[in-house]
Amino acid sequence: MPGRRVHVVRRDLLLAAVREAGRSTRADLVRRTGMARMTVDGLVTELLGAGLLSEDEAVADGARAGRPARSLTLGPAAGGVVGALVTTEGVRVALADLTGVIRAERHHPDTGLDTLAALIAECEAQTGGRTWATVAAFASPPDGDPGTRLGRPVIVRTVAELSLLGEVGYGAAAGHTDVCYLRVGTGIDCGLLLGGVLHHGATGAAGQIGHVQIDEIGPFCRCGHRGCLETIASTPAILTAITTPYGAAAGPPAIPTAVATPSGAAGPPGITAARAVALARHDAAAERVLADAGRMIGRVVADLANTINPGLVVLDGPLIEPDGPIVAAVRESVQRYAQPEVAAATGIVAGTLGARAGLLGALFAGLRATPTGRGSRTLARSALTAPTVLPAASSIAAGPSGVVPPGAHERAVRREIIVDALRGSGPAARSDLVKSTRLPRAAVADLLAGLVRDGVAERCAPAEIRPGRPSPYFRLVRSPALLVGIDIGGFGARVIVADGAGQVRYDGFLPSPLSGDARPLMRAAAGFARDLMGEHGDRPGPQTRVAVSVPAPVHPVTGRFGERSVLPMFSGYAPGDDVAAVLGHPVRVINNGHLAALAEARRGAARGARDVLYLSADQYAGAGLITGGRMHPGAIGYAGEVGHLHVREVGPFCACGRRGCLTPFLSPAHFAALSDQRPGAGPPTEDHLLGLAASGDRPVQRALRDAGRLIGRTVTPLVTVFNPAVVVVGGRFTEPGVFVVDGVRESLLRHCSPAAAAAITVVPAVLGRDAEALGAIESLL
């Protein structure tokens, strides 16, 4: 209920403020949270009664004049969170208080749920207080439901996901929001942090990098495929390769049997992970084995750098050293196979937490789910700003000291609740809003008056006739804003103008070939959009919002093209400046692949899906990623650059200066043999190729299907690791029919990991050439 939600927000804010300050007075809490003194006093009384806060006697310290104030700290019942890790090494459990300090830790070599329950009970008995969250990871599926056995809700994550969070919270990835974590152990597992959010995939199978197929005729993998990465570069595979020349002569094992590495990987008798690392420091053969495994891992990491574009890759496992051969070889492969700007911006480091990474990550995840964790995020995000649903005129005004006046934040939260209620119900009576929000009647009347004054809500006719004194009805005002989407492409600029709700009002197209300098086209497109609005009686105003789609990576923070972008006409400047100079309004500039993906996810073939991959199948191959319903541009805006994934070592030259990228294999010149013998055939063009396919030319149709197979095979690592629910295939190659779509589907089902293949649906795009401009409109809503 909304009233309960308000109470929870207040409680979380208060607990977070106390935790972060360590010791606070009530007056301090009023200043920190922006709540009224009466509200703070009521919450403090409640939390003191529950034991969540403790209050010390007032002591004069000479720091302030007047009556000394009592100080508040977290109380004995504040409790904490439990993290658990169940691997082949046994069960490890830790309990941390709400400040993040580990208060108890236990370990047992058994791996059963009964042992897990016993260790958790021991930790909780030692520390006392409430357990707010229990987070666990299991290296293999548990023998039963953990929640049922433990008698509480359990957040279950993979070991790789929690190890990633451990490195983000306490280790090598601290401060990063786009991270790929790889643990090289019995298998090769991956965790993804995209835009600061842990990515699980459509079916929770994201991160299965160990099942990316490297060699189609390689050894069988446990997943049923041949030649998966983990059959070549996992810890057991590496130790077996080192054993071949050395065997038991490499040195006595630490245990005279097969040895379990810290990741649970068993090596052959006589060769342990530690021994292999030691050998590689002075023996060329052992060093080459580790380096070769690193190069294989690096090839896949380079593909992820080009398509998911993490800012940091963390390598972990018993064979990983900060400057060891595996880390060095991964860096070498990324430098060779990733785009130059991507390679320069992608850090490759070794993990720093070792076997404790997963346990610390479990505690980190649990702390984020506590009241203090939620309150800290709320304080950081909105303590000094109004909710985004409100206009700028209603922003919270800070006092002369920059501190929010008491009650201002409280009022903003209540306004947001009223707006949410109106958005969900449509026109509503004021009396109904009082009942649904559980806010005081006088407060609802005052808030509605403010929303009407700010143009957010308006009075309207009653939806029904009721007996008794009528209560006034209110509804949200339909925004008068104009939304303008501009798509800059190789053949010109497409403009779509929509109302504030995203409904298309009119559109137009400005034909103009792209030259060696794209800036004139940017300005011409802006002028065309301005003129198009003028023709329909509109003009850019204060509520006009503009987004521009461009066929090149754009930095998500600076809005600039990279200095070393593949296409020189899209390098080294901020394209939004040229458009804004013409329209007189700031603009958003986003890569076309991501906007097409957003449009198809909201209006088109992938409507309703939260994790979507959009593929543009034509001579300028590209992609866009939607994760959790939002666009993922990558750390520097290069996510989705599938056209420059490496296909063949000795392939044709690409515009990026390398050989064997995907793009040259999709160019008209690559299909020249299909039209050479036809009467009147001129230089091969995309239009001619597509015309032949549309007229029923079987060889050309087969060629398009084969192009789809190549695209699908090339993006297999991305699909396996990203785990989308829907793969949407668009681009000009889809215009003659579903040939290329069928080819993509065939390759993905054949080469992706079984878990990823079982989850995906491959469909043709439905929005055609309007997708990018419609995506620009959607990005403004």
pLDDT digits (tens, 9 = 90+) for 601-654: 999 999 989 999 999 999 889 999 999 999 999 999 999 999 999 898 888 888
Mean local confidence (pLDDT), 683-694: 85
pLDDT of residue 515: 80
Alpha helices of 234-307 — where are they, by DSSP H?
235-246, 273-280, 284-307
**How far is it, in rounded angstroms, from Cα 402 to Cα 411?**
18
pLDDT of residue 409: 57
Mean pLDDT (the chain) is: 85
Lowest mean pLDDT, pick from 203-212, 395-404, 650-659 = 395-404
Mean local confidence (pLDDT), 194-203: 93
In degrees rounded to 5, what are phi and psi of residue 183? -115, 120
Give 541's pLDDT tier (boundaries 50, 70, 90).
Answer: confident
pLDDT of residue 239: 93
Better pLDDT: 106 or 76: 106
1 pLDDT above the threshold of 60: no
pLDDT of residue 32: 79
pTM of the full predicted structure? 0.83
Q: Going along 354-480, which residue ranges are E strands?
A: 428-429, 457-460, 473-476
What tens digit of pLDDT does each residue of 460-478 get? Answer: 888 777 777 788 999 888 7
423 pLDDT above the threshold of 50: yes
443 pLDDT above the threshold of 90: no
254 pLDDT above the threshold of 70: no
Alpha helices of 536-656 — where are they, by DSSP H?
575-583, 592-602
Token pair 């996810």 is at which residue?
Answer: 601
With H, G, I as helix, E, B as strand and everything else as coil, classify residue 475.
Answer: strand
Which of 527, 603, 640 has the alpha carbon at shortest distance from 773?
Answer: 603
690 pLDDT above the threshold of 50: yes
Which of 563, 696, 539, 548 has the alpha carbon at shortest distance from 636?
Answer: 563
Mean local confidence (pLDDT), 170-189: 94
Give 67's pLDDT tier (boundaries 50, 70, 90).
Answer: low
**How far is it, in rounded angstroms, from Cα 633 to Cα 640?**
8
pLDDT of residue 265: 47
Structure tokens at 656: 């990026």
pLDDT of residue 709: 96
pLDDT of residue 262: 40
Which of 259, 225, 199 has the alpha carbon at shortest distance from 625?
Answer: 199
Whether the CB-CB separation of 167 and 352 falls below 8 Å is answered with: yes
- Per-position b or e across 290-299, b if 16+ CB within 10 A of its CB: bbbbbbbbbb
Mean local confidence (pLDDT), 349-361: 93
pLDDT of residue 267: 46
What tens digit of pLDDT does each residue of 273-309 get? Answer: 999 999 999 999 999 999 999 999 999 999 999 999 9
Question: Could you tell me what percent of the chain has a pLDDT over 70?
Answer: 88
- What's the count of helices (H) and strands (E) in the chain, helices before strands? 26, 27
104 pLDDT above the threshold of 80: yes
DSSP-assigned states of every residue in 144-194 = S-HHHHHTS--EEE-HHHHHHHHHHHHSTTTT-SSEEEEEESSSEEEEEEE
pLDDT of residue 468: 73
Neighbours of 380 (CB within 10 A): 11
**How far is it, in rounded angstroms, from Cα 491 to Cα 351?**
47
568 pLDDT above the threshold of 90: no
What tens digit of pLDDT does each residue of 130-147 get? Answer: 888 899 999 888 888 888
**How far is it, in rounded angstroms, from Cα 206 to Cα 189?**
10
